[in-house]
Structure 1
Amino acid sequence: MSKANPNSWADLLAEGRLPRFALIMLGVWLNAADSLVTATILPSVGADLGGYAYFSWATAGFFVGAILAGASSGRLSEMFGLKSATALAGVVMAVGCVMSAAAPDVGTFLAGRLVQGLGSGWISGFAMVAIAFLFPERHLARVFAAVTFVWGIATILGPLFGGLVVQLGGWRDVFWLFALQTAVFSAAAPFLLSGEAKATGGPGIPWTQLGVLGLGVAAIAVADLLKIPAVSVGMVVAGLAILLLVVWIDARAKVRLLPLRSGDLTTVCGSGYLAMFALTAASMGFSIYGPPILQQLRGFSPLAAGYAIGAESAAWTIAAMAVAGAAGAWENRWMRIGALCLVASLVILALTMADGHFAWVLLGGSLMGAAFGFSWAFMARQVLAALSDEDRAIGSSAVTAVRQTGAAVGAAISGVAANLVGFSAGLTDASARAAAVWIFVAVIPLALVGVWALFRMTGSARAVSP
């Protein structure tokens, strides 16, 4: 019998690697789907627990937990070993799911989302460690391709899963089901992650920068609750200033969160990270507030709202596949086209989300997804290519940290805009109609900053190395 090609899927799953591969893919699914599932269940949560003012916190809190956990995963896998650390991460996430599922009030629900973020971030980080240590180098490209595929599936099925479960049962069932999946993951980890693989852990964890980063996101999130527009906007500005302080501190720290000169906008690295942050932040309002607006103003069911929001994810995947083979000057062109698509999507959604023909809403959501499908892979590739060998590892993890920080900040800013026009008082036709405009208008300046940074990155910016 002929032996499997050493660089084939058959060989990848041979020699006992199939169970490990399945466990890692389950971990990727848990991380991806749980981060997206709230898009279609929050209207039901708000109706049951109240707390419409805290809609954005369910997303922002999750991402803050994921950022903190992801930055510490390397050190923890070194301290406790991969098997024990991964099993513990599953326990933490399961506890967070139970907290949200059994929440008697919105405060407990949000605390559960934060704990889920911590567990999910650790699961994601430990999955990357497992891939590096438990699979031969010849298989890494295929494993990471599978990770990308699972993320793509989760971006479509996550919101739809939430909508379907809510329609058939109740929103609490979503988190009970995630708790069950996570318990299976945690129980299987010690048996399937054989060996005592450990990460190098690097020189340490940048606790100071992470603490200041959390403070900045929290300042923006607190602005959700303030009723005076000038004070609320002031808190947003203060929060953004604190995030800039993170970059300043990081450049002078012994243990860095970001690569060298990440705050220098004359470099590909600096302008690229700014573009990633700003464009991600500008896109969050649609996934958070789109479902409740569609359910309130157009009478959509949770499942139908999930399908509508899924247009963004589907367009992302289709656009990414369409331009995957681009090279040379077309990489820069597609990135610029993508950034402009995001601005166009915000304008279209602001004008049509409430009362326009639904085809325009689908077009706006599709353009938003296409914006990232056209640009994201090329942005990440060029940023990493511009880094020195010394900063390659930290720069790779920083891409995730910057994206998640942008998501948390974007969620908070969208929440500020929605609450200032009455969303915090309850979901009514009037509050939904006003929010349908301002959650998009409020982030257009951020999108324009992202466009400027991306054009700079693809124009005059240079590599990090002096």
Structure 2
Amino acid sequence: MADGVSASEERSSGEDLFTRAHAPYLVVVFLSEWLIASNSLVTATILPSVGASFSAYQWFGWVSAAFAVGIVTAAALSGVSAERLGLAKAMTFASALFAVGCMVAASANGIGVFIAGRAMQGLGAGWLGGLGYVVAAVCLPGRHLSRIFAISAGIWGIATIAGPLFGGIFADAGFWPGVFVFFAAQAAVLALLSACLFGTEAESAGAKSEASIRALIPVVAGIVAIASAGVVAGVAAAIVLALSGLVALALAVRLDQRARTGLLPADLSRSLAGAGYVAYGATSAAGVAFSLYTPTILVTQYGLSAVEAGYVGVSDAVAWTIAAFVVSRADEARRTTILIAGSVAIAVGVILQAVVIGHGPLVAIVLAGAVMGAGFGSARPVLGERLIRSLDAASRARGSGAITVMQSVGTALGAAVAGIAANAGDFESVGDRALTFAQGFGLFASTFPFALVGIVAVVRFARLCHR
């Protein structure tokens, strides 16, 4: 591995992780994780209130698209910003941007301003998410990466449960802007902590590179096209946009790999890191339909309230959290098997969801989500730990930040494909009549090919780890 730390040392006692020297970095990493995760799903329970306020239900898709574009754009530059600004300044600016975006959304007098606020939140979230990986990779002991990833997964699971709850509380109180004020206050605290807690050793996250940002233009164009594909009305137009977005992203990777120092580590096509990034993106795409469409189906087909539907829909997050903690204590001999089994569980969960959604009992939907969540919780800690450890010192900041980029690109691509399937299956009509088996299966199975790609990428990643 890149840092020369053995796998057995990696899972040593955590006593020397929770020290005064490491505390500032741990606080910032975990608070960033909490802020991003809890905010990302808050719109699940407030969008009906937002739509009523602005008479803009037809713009819901663009709310998510703007957030996704912001995340990918900022995450792509997170590693470079850490190198050039230093972690303290980069984290402070990212937190402040997130807070401003929250206040813009809270004070919006129309859907356009609200979408702009969500885009700014996406920029802040993407920046924070990428920087969180950089902090973990650069400032904390490599032997504890597995434990850090497990704790982060636990925080993510708790936060994704809490986010819809906070949104539901403010929505039921008739004051949905309050939830964004609530998140703005937390982001302001994170900005203050970032400015005060980091020491001088974190002024630079590595040697300052001259990373080319030419690749960022097709990245932004590609993610805009892909995100738009999930919300346009025509199926043909959506397919054209999605394919155009993929071409733009492929061009971005090609330009970046040709650069002397790019936004991504070099030689991705043949490297362990390249397989790891594909695995992150593909599995993220595979699981997105569950979080996007399950709450709506539970409300329209099962008669649940928005908050109740939100909690059924986060069964995957609960299983993810439990699995991640279990995996963090597994010995090295079993971790490769767990990694591959986790990727298979994601695929199984996707198919189970396609079969039971809309027609099976609630417990079957919960179990299907839990199977997929357990797969993520099993695979992601091992995948993230080994990917970061494979990066050399020169590319560790940029390579760590790229994890968030690939997750976000995968999520946007999966949402676009699911959106195309939803439009083709006349999903908008489910509020007025029963969901047919063909509609439910077609919608949730549309992302299954990504799960298969994820399995292939994980198997390749595992093989390269043992070379």
TM-score bucket (shorter structure): 0.7 to 0.9
Query: Partner of 2:432 in structure 1?
Result: 429
Alignment check: 8 A CA contact 1:56 1:414 kept: no
Please state if 1:12 is matched with 2:16. Answer: no
In the TM superposition, what are the counterparts of 1:113-152 in structure 2 within 5 Å? 113-125=118-130, 147-152=152-157
CA-CA distance at 1:297 after TM superposition: 1.9
1:348: which partner in 2? 352
Which residue number corresponds to residue 157 of structure 1? 162
Who is 2:292 aligned against?
288
The verdict on how the C-alpha distance between 1:41 and 1:427 changes in structure 2, with shifts beyond 3 A counting, is: farther
Amino acid at match of 1:332: T
Distance 2:142 2:336 in 1: 30
Bigger Cα displacement from structure 2, 174-183 vs 282-291: 174-183
The structure-2 alpha-carbon separation of the partners of 1:309 and 1:225, relative to structure 1 and needing over 3 Å to count, comes to closer
Given candidates 323, 326, 334, the residue that maps to 2:330 is 326
Q: 2:104 matched to 1:99?
A: yes
Quote the Cα distance in structure 1 between the aligned partners of 2:118 and 2:60: 12
Distance 1:124 1:336 in 2: 25
User: Structure 1 residues 236, 82: CA separation in 2 closer, same or farther (over 3 Å shift)?
Assistant: closer
Q: State the shift of 1:288 in Å.
A: 1.9
Alpha-carbon separation, structure 2, partners of 1:26 and 1:105: 31
| CA drift at 1:438 | 3.5
Residue of structure 1 equivalent to 2:343:
339
1:418 to 416, 422, 433: 422
In 2, Cα distance between the equivalents of 1:128 and 1:25? 11
Contact kept? 2:84, 2:209, Cα under 8 Å: no
The residue that corresponds to 1:179 in the other structure is: 184
Secondary structure of 2:265 counterpart? coil
CA contact (8 A) 2:153 2:377 kept: no
Q: What amino acid is aligned across from residue 258 of structure 2 in structure 1?
A: R
Distance 1:454 1:167 in 2: 43
Which one-letter code corresponds to 2:208 in the other structure?
G
Tell me how far 1:353 sits from its aligned partner.
1.7
Distance 1:431 1:198, change over 3 A: farther
Partner of 1:396: 400
2:301 maps to 1:297? yes
Change in 2 beyond 3 A, CA 1:287/1:240: same
Distance in structure 1 (CA, Å) of the matches to 2:379 and 2:148: 22
Q: Is the 8 A contact 1:167 1:303 kept in 2?
A: no
Displacement after TM superposition at 1:203 (Å): 0.8
1:321-357 deviation line (CA, Å, top 9, x unaligned): 2333334553332223222222222222222221221
1:42 maps to: 47
Report the counterpart of residue 363 of structure 2 in structure 1: 359
- Partner residue of 1:4? none
The TM-score with structure 2 as length reference comes to 0.82
**Equivalent-residue separation in structure 1 for 2:459 and 2:137 (angstroms):** 34
Distance 1:121 1:59 in 2: 14
Deviation at 1:138, TM superposition (A): 10
| TM-superposed deviation, 1:242 | 2.3
Rounded to whole Å, the distance in 2 between the matches of 1:280 and 1:136 is: 27
Shift of the 81–243 alpha-carbon distance from structure 1 to 2, 3 Å rule, reads closer
| Separation in 2, partners of 1:268, 1:10 | 27
Gaps of 5+ in 2: 1-13
Q: Tell me: CA distance 1:426–1:84, structure 2 relative to 1, closer, same or farther (3 Å).
A: farther
With structure 1 as the length reference, what TM-score do the two structures score?
A: 0.83
Equivalent residue pairs, number: 453
1:214 matched to 2:227: no
Equivalent in 259, 265, 277 of residue 259 of structure 1 = 265
Which shows bigger deviation, 42-51 or 274-283? 42-51
Question: In structure 2, how many angstroms separate the alpha carbons of the residues matched to 1:91 and 1:406?
Answer: 26
1:458 aligns with 2:454: no
- What are the Cα deviations for residues 28-54 of structure 1, in whole angstroms up to 9, with x where unaligned? 322232223233333443454455555
CA distance in 1, matches of 2:155, 2:279: 25
- Name the structure 2 match of 1:3: none
- Establish whether residue 239 from structure 1 lines up as the match of residue 245 from structure 2: yes
Q: 1:314: how far off?
A: 0.6
Alpha-carbon distance between aligned partners in 2 of 1:380 and 1:132, rounded to the nearest angstrom: 10
**2:124 maps to amino acid:** G
1:58 matches 2:56: no
- Supply the AA of the counterpart residue of 1:62: F
Opposite residue 103 of structure 1, the aligned amino acid is A
Q: Which runs of 5+ in 1 are unaligned?
A: 1-6
Kept in 2, the 8 Å contact 1:60–1:411? The answer is no
CA distance in 1, matches of 2:454, 2:17: 42
Specify the code of the residue in structure 2 equivalent to 1:116: Q
CA shift digits 1:98-147 (9 cap, x unpaired): 22223333332222111001122334455567778988999998877655
Secondary structure (helix, strand or coil) at the match of 1:113 reads: helix
The 2-side partners of 1:162 and 1:39 are apart by: 8
1:138–1:346 Cα change, 3 Å: closer
Q: Is the 8 A contact 1:40 1:291 kept in 2?
A: no
**Greater alpha carbon shift after TM alignment, 169-178 vs 109-118:** 169-178
Q: Is 1:278 matched with 2:285? A: no
Q: Given the superposition, is the C-alpha separation of residues 393 and 85 from structure 1 closer, same or farther in structure 2, using an over 3 Å criterion?
A: closer
CA contact (8 A) 1:54 1:415 kept: no
- Whole-Å Cα distance in 2 between the matches of residues 282 and 399 of structure 1? 16
Q: Report which stretch shifted further, 320-329 or 437-446.
A: 320-329
- RMSD between aligned residues: 3.6
Q: Percent identity?
A: 37
Question: Which stretch has the larger CA shift, 308-317 or 171-180?
Answer: 171-180
Superposition deviation, residue 372 in structure 1: 0.7
Change in 2 beyond 3 A, CA 1:227/1:27: closer
Specify whether residues 334 and 157 from structure 1 end up closer, same or farther in structure 2 by C-alpha distance, changes over 3 A only. Answer: same
Distance 1:139 1:333 in 2: 20
Secondary structure at 2:230's aligned position in 1? helix
Change beyond 3 A, Cα 1:450–1:306: same
CA gap of 1:76–1:430, structure 2 versus 1, over 3 A, is: same
| One-letter identity of the residue aligned with 2:233 | K
Q: Distance in 2 between matches of 1:397 and 1:18?
A: 21
